[in-house]
Amino acid sequence: MLNNAFVILNPVERVCYLPSRRTNIVFCFAEVLWYLAGSNSLDFISYYAKSMQKYSADQRTLTGTAYGPKIFRFGPEQINQWDRIVNLLTNDDPETKRAVIQIFDPSESLTRDNIDVSCTIGWQFFVRNGKLYMTTYMRANDAFRGIVSDVFSFTFVQELLARQLGLEVGSYCHMVGSAHVYESDYQWAEKVIAEAEKIQSYMYPFSFPRMPLGDNWRYIHVVLELEQRLRENEFKPSVSDLSNLSLPEYWRQVVILFEVYREIVREKAIKREIYQLLIPVYQYLVANRWSSYVNDVMQYRGRD
């Protein structure tokens, strides 16, 4: 489908809860934090999705898929686009139409043998009436798989920037030049669509957490340090360790999710006491995605 667009009025609600879609909440957080780390490391992101390995030409880094270096070190001049738009929206011209972060790089190889080309052209931010609005421009988008994590990551970026600027979160617009579904996903997509037609959003007894007010970057740096230690299996936290992290609850929950994933990868089981530290919405998403690993754990059954 060419030139497809949609608007999300409340982009904090950035997750697909449909059971048949089996949203990978851990990968969603990992991918956006990979961007915010400014990383192009294949080891980082392929730990959460081995399929990413096929996009790397040297099996060490990613180019088009790795948006982080483009956000914080774009082009030969190594432009920090984040700092530039923060300054623009804070000091120079809060109602500007020039607050753009470019992702697609004209220097990327467009030959057919390069499958790692940026799908995202760029992000545009608008401050209007005390809210931060965002528009994403995609050259192409997998409308079944990629779009789930893309919308999560991009609205997460919107919320992060809004909190940093002291603004409310406005609506989010997603514009796609070519939206497509791969043939191998047809049956799965049809199942999800059929379920979506029967289930209304109000049937879910939870809402997605809101990021703390203010500048969250100091917390992100701590979370990234802990994520690396967990990913490399150097940190095997106890309930006490996780309960006493010097982080707001929002970010502590992200670390707990990474620990749950470490247990899945390294120990092939999720500890009951760790699972129970998760808030209900994350318990539901983990149980729905990794049901075989939580059969011996108290699964979320619609109660607080």
Residues 52 and 174 in one domain: yes
Number of independent structural domains in the chain: 2
* Residue 201: band (very low, low, confident or very high) from pLDDT cuts 50, 70, 90: low
* Residue 192: band (very low, low, confident or very high) from pLDDT cuts 50, 70, 90: very high
Print the SS3 string covering the chain: CEEEEEEECCCCCCCCCCHHHCCCHHHHHHHHHHHHCCCCEHHHHHCCCHHHHHHCCCCCECCCCCCHHHHHCECCCCECHHHHHHHHHHHHCCCCCCCEEECCCCCCCCCCCCCCCCCEEEEEEEEECCEEEEEEEEEEEECCCHHHHHHHHHHHHHHHHHHHHCCEEEEEEEEEEEEECCHHHHHHHHHHHHHHHHCCHHHCCCCCCCCCCCCCHHHHHHHHHHHHHHHCCCCCCCHHHHHCCCCCHHHHHHHHHHHHHHHHHHHCCCCHHHHCCCCHHHHHHHHHHCHHHCCCCCCCCCCC
pLDDT at 242: 98
In a domain, 299, yes or no: no
In a domain, 302, yes or no: no
Burial (CB count within 10 angstroms: exposed 0-12, middle 13-18, buried 19+), residue 240: exposed
pLDDT for 299 beyond 60: no
| Residue that finishes a domain, picked among 180, 203, 226 | 203
In a domain, 13, yes or no: yes
pLDDT at 92: 77
Residues 102 and 230 in one domain: no
In a domain, 57, yes or no: yes
pLDDT (average), residues 57-81: 96
pLDDT at 93: 85
- Higher-pLDDT residue of 125 and 91 is 125
Residues 152 and 287 in one domain: no
Please write the tens of the pLDDT for every residue from 110-124. Answer: 999 999 999 999 999
Residues 247 and 139 in one domain: no
The mean of the pLDDT values for the chain is: 94
pLDDT for 298 beyond 70: no
Least confident of 55-59, 140-144, 198-202, 266-270: 198-202
Owning domain of residue 242: 217-293
In a domain, 211, yes or no: no
pLDDT (average), residues 267-296: 92
In a domain, 55, yes or no: yes
Residues 26 and 165 in one domain: yes
pLDDT at 295: 64
pLDDT for 284 beyond 90: yes
In a domain, 50, yes or no: yes
Residues 20 and 88 in one domain: yes
Residues 184 and 72 in one domain: yes
* Residue 297: band (very low, low, confident or very high) from pLDDT cuts 50, 70, 90: low
- Higher-pLDDT residue of 303 and 30 is 30
| Residue that finishes a domain, picked among 141, 173, 203 | 203
In a domain, 128, yes or no: yes
Q: Which residues contact 204 (CB under 8 A, 6 or more apart)?
A: 17
Q: How far is CA 17 from the centre of its chain?
A: 15
CATH number at residue 184: 3.30.572.10
pLDDT for 274 beyond 80: yes
Distance CA 10, CA 196 (A): 18
pLDDT (average), residues 1-20: 96
pTM of the entire predicted model: 0.95
Residues 73 and 127 in one domain: yes
Residues 164 and 99 in one domain: yes
Residues 68 and 124 in one domain: yes
* Residue 301: band (very low, low, confident or very high) from pLDDT cuts 50, 70, 90: very low
pLDDT for 212 beyond 90: yes
Percent of residues, the chain, with pLDDT higher than 90:
90
Residues 141 and 288 in one domain: no
Residues 223 and 178 in one domain: no
| Residue that finishes a domain, picked among 134, 169, 203 | 203
pLDDT for 243 beyond 90: yes
